[in-house]
Amino acid sequence: MSEQSHPTPPSPVAADHDPDYAANLRRATLSSSVGSALEYFDFAMYGLMTALVFNKLFFDQSNPGIALIAAFGIYGVGFAARPFGGLFFGTIGDRIGRRWVLIATIILMGGSSTLIGVLPTYESVGALAPVLLVLLRLLQGFGAGAEQAGATVLMAEYAPVRRRGFFSALPFIGIQAGTLLAAFAFFLLNLLPEEQFMAWGWRLPFLSSILLILIALWIRARLRETPTFVVLEKHEQVAHHPIREIFTTGRAGVVVGIGLRMAENGGSYLFQSVALAFVTSTAIGLDRGIVTWGVSLGSLIGIFSVPFTGALSDRFGRVPVYRAGAVFMLVFSFPAWYLLTVGSHAVAIAVIAIGIGVAVNTMLGPQCALLPEMFGNRHRYLGVAMSREISAVLAGGLAGVIGASLLDWTDYNWVVMGLYMATLAAITTSATFLVPETRARDLLRREDAVRLSTTEKDTAYADAEPSPTLAAQKEA
């Protein structure tokens, strides 16, 4: 393989002067960002629709409380499929490369989302309606199970070492953009008369997913394989059995990765969906269209806070910045849910915006580089996928079901929701003490960082001479 075919990150100083590498870094950033935007547009839209639309259109309305729980149950089904998708596509990504997996996942994930827009409702086909919704959510989740892991690994392996935190966080602006786009689309849809919105308006955002799919496919078809995987292929070190490795040598990293994600992922979906269901219920009675602006404002803040905290992790380390976000959510949990009960639109918008934009995204920023740095090169894709998607089930997927159940069982008591969120934050805070600092870790190392002694230090920066890793990449 020639250097022209697979441009690799040169030394930190030379990176800015290598046009071929710079072009591929931009392409990788754009490719990952569009995929992230599509995934989170779909999931944010589904979360909004679950709390306010799907529970009414796809289920028997004789018991509205049960219908809401069932709707969030199907919301969780998509998360249940994600670990299997992560396992399947993560294995392929570690065996044949990152690029082709990202093409497959965007087709599967986006196609399923588009088809949701043409589903018949309960009134039309009865019990078949939720069955079809479950099927598409399973396919959507299966594809999404490797999408974010692939974007995370792709950018970490392309980014300049000194600025890996910042560059790895850039594609995750797509998460904020997708969420912001979903909230804005939902706001516009709410301008429709209620009858038209419930009849056909809710379908439009899902049908529009086809546009993002086409854009992402065009970009990813031109994407080149990552430098670290090229080196693995050159030295014939590609793992033939990454599943075996991840459940033996990589198990500790996966467990810690799951813990790190509990507050970030769970908190995100609690603020985006359960909090909306809470404040728009008859117990609080706020207007759904107005409160949705809290999600929009939080996502707008995230466009800046995610790369900012990623850059902070380049300077101060991944772990301190991540821990700061987890502790903030821990402290914020009870005041946040209490303030949601006061019945003020402005207060509810502020709480949701701070929860998403500050608490959640202060963890997401450093996480973009931290998770790939935690795993060795032979099973990095699978390790990141398993960490992300198992936690997505335990935190994000169950957040809606547990949250809706707690609200129904306790007559919308804010204390139990504060306790639930605080528990997730406490788990993540504890997990930050189990991972060593990974900033600037050599991504060609085959061992996982979590298996190392916390006193062992990785080589930080090679200021005088190119590192052996970079030399090997250059040779490839």
pTM: 0.77
Write the DSSP string, 13-62. HHHTT-HHHHHHHHHHHHHHHHHHHHHHHHHHHHHHHIIIIIHHHSS-TT
Residue 43 has pLDDT above 80, yes or no: no
Residue 357 has pLDDT above 90, yes or no: yes
pLDDT band at 256 (very low <50, low <70, confident <90, very high): very high
Average pLDDT over residues 67-92: 80
Average pLDDT over residues 111-132: 87
CA distances from 158 to 153, 190, 416 (A): 9, 41, 43
Write the DSSP string, 389-456. HHHIIIIIIHHHHHHHHHHHHTTS-HHHHHHHHHHHHHHHHHHTTSS---TT--TT--S-GGGS-TT-
CA angle 252, 254, 259 (to 5 degrees): 100
Q: Are 81 and 145 in contact (CB under 8 A)?
A: yes
The tens digit of pLDDT for each residue in 408-442 reads 888 888 999 999 999 999 999 999 999 999 998 98
d(CA 70, CA 172): 30
pLDDT band at 12 (very low <50, low <70, confident <90, very high): very low
Among the listed ranges 11-25, 36-50, 150-164, which one has the minimum average pLDDT value?
A: 11-25
The tens digit of pLDDT for each residue in 210-242 reads 887 788 788 777 777 777 777 766 655 555 667
Q: What percent of the chain has pLDDT over 70?
A: 88
Among the listed ranges 120-129, 155-164, 178-187, which one has the minimum average pLDDT value?
A: 178-187
Domain boundaries, the chain: 20-453
d(CA 250, CA 233): 21
Q: Which has the higher per-residue pLDDT, 345 or 217?
A: 345
pLDDT band at 447 (very low <50, low <70, confident <90, very high): confident
Among the listed ranges 127-131, 146-150, 339-343, 414-418, which one has the minimum average pLDDT value?
A: 146-150
Q: Treating both helix axes as pointing N-terminal to C-terminal, what angle do 361-374 and 251-269 enclose, rounded to 10 degrees? A: 160
Q: Which has the higher per-residue pLDDT, 194 or 384?
A: 384
Among the listed ranges 10-19, 256-265, 316-325, which one has the minimum average pLDDT value?
A: 10-19
Closest CA to 107 of 251, 209, 223: 209
User: Structure tokens of 182?
Assistant: 């979903």
pLDDT for 435: 92
Average pLDDT, the chain: 81
Residue 306 has pLDDT above 90, yes or no: yes
Residue 99 has pLDDT above 60, yes or no: yes
User: Structure tokens of 289?
Assistant: 């269209």
pLDDT for 126: 84
Q: Specify burial of residue 389 (Cβ count, 10 A radius: 0-12, 13-18, 19+).
A: buried
pLDDT for 48: 73
CATH code for the structural domain at 20-453? 1.20.1250.20
